[in-house]
Each structure stands twice: as structure tokens, then as C-alpha cells.
Amino acid sequence: MPEGDSYVHAAYAARPILLDEEIVAVEGSAPSIRRYSSRIVGSTVGEVRTYGKHLFVDLDSGYSVHVHLAMNGTLRVRSSGPVRPGPARLVLVTEQGIVTVSGTKDVEADRTPALDARVLEPLGPDLIADEFDWTDFERRARKAGPDISVADFLLDQRVMAGVGNVYKNEVAFLERLNPMQSIGTLEFERLRAMAERSRTLLRANRRPGKRVTTGDWRRSLWVYGREGRPCRRCGTTIRQTWFGAPEPRVTYWCPRCQPAD
């Protein structure tokens, strides 16, 4: 499941193919990729950057390509070979290889300032970045309604950018918070602690390899995907439900470590 660390990994994989290289061909079914293909082909890639759960390819033409992998999107890199026909939303070709994005509708091209304004301005600070704006986080967190659940607070990209469903479950467990509990029952320091924990886990998983939240790659996650199995901390059976608004998401928790308040 693509989360903030997934985008860092994708950018790391794409840079050897794209960075400082000229785009010699572009394909894909995304409408704006077709519309601005003349602005993309012949341009040189100046930067491949990420912010939360978003990836940008910045071009010296003043345009950028934006990718959001959503739930099931993938970014793949090949060092050589033909541009294969298929359902890809985006195919970028340089002399170094081919980058293909598929499985997501959220691919677009536009002028860089327009993309940044449309995509980035609504988002909270990027948890995985080297610098995190705690003042902005506090302002946004205090505006969140008191009835919002811990689970939905963690997933709200307008408060902090980068947490997806795996980290939602893992952070709630590590902070000993029931994911269905409303944040109005918590002191603000508990909200800040969730952000600090999210930042720690995401940044620890910037390196390539298996996502680990436990510190042990042999048993990498605390609760996510472990319904019916014993809690790694207390032995209680992990439970699962579908919960959240506006779209319910699969949620795992330990009833003993994360009791309902």
C-alpha cells in the first residue's frame, strides 16, 4: 500500500532514469499527459521530488508531472526495452530507461506553480521531510473537529501528509490509542505524540527494503494484517473492523493495549 515511504522509494528508483535526462518520448492514457506531451518531450528533468503521498517530476520547460498512486498504483522502472502498449497512465522514456505508472487515475501534467498550488497548498506538513513545521501542524490539528476519530485524524492529509492505512494502525497501537476514539477526548500533547511517532516510523522506513515498525524485520508489524493472531505485546487476539469517514478503511487493534475510552 503506497504511503509516504513508498513515494520516497519510488523517487529513489526513478532518479537514475530521469534526473538531468531529456525526455525523448512520453505515452500514457492520462488526458493532461496527452495534452501537454509537446511540453514534456524534449524537456530535461530538473528534479524528482516527493511530498507526503505525492511525487513530482519537474521539467525545465516550466511544467511538472504529478503522480498520486492512490490505493493500488505502481511505479516501475526499466533500464531498457521497448515501450509496450497497454493501460499505463504514464510512460516517460529517456536514454537511461523507462518509467511507467499504472493502476491509478491520479496522473497529471501542468505548469509547476499551478500543480503546486492545487496539490500541495491544502496539505499539512510532510512527515518524512528533513524539516517538519510543527507550528503549522498545531494550527491544523487544533482546527480538526473534536468528533473526528484517532484513525481519521492520522489519515487526514490536511493535518499532516504521509500516513496511510498501515501506519494509521501501527501508530495508534504504539500510542496505546483505540482507533475509534474521538480526538476530543485527548489532550493536544497526545495529538503531537501521534505526529512524532508517525514521523519517526516513516523516516525510519525511507531506506529500501521491507517496511518495519517493530524494529525487527522478522516480525515487521505490530497489528496491521494480524487479525485473529496474538498481540505481540500482551497476547490478546488482534481484532479487525472496517471503520472511518468518509470511506471506511480496514482497521486493526488490540482490545487490551488499546481499550475503548
Catalytic annotation, residues: 2-3, 53
6 C-beta neighbours (distance < 10 Å), count: 22
Task: Take residue 170 and report the three cell numbers written for it.
Answer: 501501527
Find all residues with CB under 8 Å of 50, minimum gap 6, and list them.
4, 7, 8, 10, 11, 56, 126, 128
Compute the distance between CA of residue 204 and CA of residue 8 in angstroms, rounded to an integer.
Answer: 12
158 grid coordinates: 490536511
Cell of residue 64, nine digits: 511538472
DSSP sequence for 15-57: HHHHBT-B--EEE-S-HHHHHTHHHHTTPBEEEEEEETTEEEE
Q: Are 170 and 232 in contact (CB under 8 A)?
A: no
Cα–Cα distance, 209 to 24 (Å, whole number):
31
